């Protein structure tokens, strides 16, 4: 089994935005994202990870049917490596988890979490709503929040435990089922300026959209919505 940091990061990206399906001609794998703000990530980091970890060239493109952008892989030898690492075939949202090869090797957790954050994590910024806060804090989005959202309880618990092992105190909250999503959602989140700076320093995300937000906030002390 491939247990390099590059493959762990790639598997994290698959966990975030990938899936496999079985058809008449075999199994096909996709990893895709939003064409509006993730093309650079796929053209850069995803291509690099496939090449470094599997010596395999991918060519990201638009998938107009889904309105997404990313890669499609049909080569059996590549798909088998993901399956051997624990990737499920079919719907995976509720059964996704931190894979065993990452759980058994602490050095692989950070790259796995990086890949997951780049594809399916989020950073946003909030205003202060405390009555005693100064006006600037009430009018500027200065308070950062890093979080992951999933409908898989096993992924949420594994992610929270792994992040705690590297020194972060993430909070796990459970959202109630709704009409559009009839299962609970699980949010693993981290607040605060010091925590966010440490998260980006240790995980070193590669997603240009996340980095742009973080760097704008770091430079001016707040984030302005586009």
Does 17 have pLDDT greater than 80? yes
% of the chain residues with pLDDT over 90: 84
Q: What are phi and psi of 20, to 5 degrees?
A: -125, 150
Retrieve residue 98's tokens.
Answer: 């931190």
Same fold flag, 5-92 and 117-220: yes
User: What pTM was estimated for this model as a whole?
Assistant: 0.95
* 208-220 helix and 193-203 helix, angle to the nearest 10 degrees: 140
CATH number for the domain formed by residue range(s) 117-220: 3.10.28.10
CATH architecture of 5-92: Roll (3.10)
The pLDDT score that the predictor gives to residue 60 is 98
Report domain extents, the chain.
5-92, 117-220
pLDDT, residue 76, reads 96
Q: How confident is the model over 184-193, as a mean pLDDT?
A: 96
Q: Using the predicted structure, report yes or no on whether residue 162 has a pLDDT greater than 90.
A: yes
Burial of 38 (0-12, 13-18, 19+ CB in 10 A): buried
Cα torsion at 107, 44, 224, 36 (round to 10°)? -120
Question: Quick one: DSSP state of residue 222?
Answer: S
Residues 50-106 pLDDT 10s: 999 999 999 999 999 999 999 999 999 999 999 999 999 999 999 999 999 999 898
Mean pLDDT of the chain: 94
Pick the closest to residue 31 from 48, 12, 44, 5 (CA basis).
12
Confidence class for position 173, pLDDT limits 50, 70, 90: very high
The DSSP bridge partners found for residue 185 are 175
What tokens does 155 get?
């992924």
Where are the alpha helices (H) located in 36-170, listed in sequence order? Answer: 39-41, 47-54, 76-84, 100-103, 109-120, 135-139, 153-165
């Amino acid at each position: 089994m491939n247990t390099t940091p590059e493959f762990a990061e790639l598997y994290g990206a698959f966990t975030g935005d990938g899936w496999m399906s079985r058809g008449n001609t075999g199994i096909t794998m996709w990893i895709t994202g939003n064409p509006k703000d993730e093309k650079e990530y796929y053209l850069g980091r995803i291509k690099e990870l496939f090449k470094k970890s599997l010596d395999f060239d991918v060519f990201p493109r638009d998938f107009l049917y889904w309105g997404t952008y990313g890669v499609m892989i049909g080569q059996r030898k590549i798909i088998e490596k993901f399956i051997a690492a624990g990737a499920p075939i079919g719907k995976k949202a509720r059964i996704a988890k931190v894979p065993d090869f990452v759980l058994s090797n602490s050095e692989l957790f950070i790259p796995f979490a990086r890949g997951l954050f780049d594809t399916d994590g989020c950073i946003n910024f909030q205003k202060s709503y405390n009555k005693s806060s100064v006006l600037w804090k009430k009018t500027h989005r200065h308070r950062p929040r890093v979080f992951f959202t999933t409908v898989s309880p096993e992924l949420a618990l594994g992610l929270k435990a792994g992040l705690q092992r590297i020194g972060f105190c993430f909070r796990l909250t459970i959202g109630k089922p709704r009409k559009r999503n009839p299962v609970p959602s699980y949010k693993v989140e981290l607040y605060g300026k010091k925590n966010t700076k440490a998260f980006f320093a240790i995980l070193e995300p590669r997603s240009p959209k996340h980095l742009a937000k973080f760097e704008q906030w770091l430079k001016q002390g707040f984030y302005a919505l586009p």
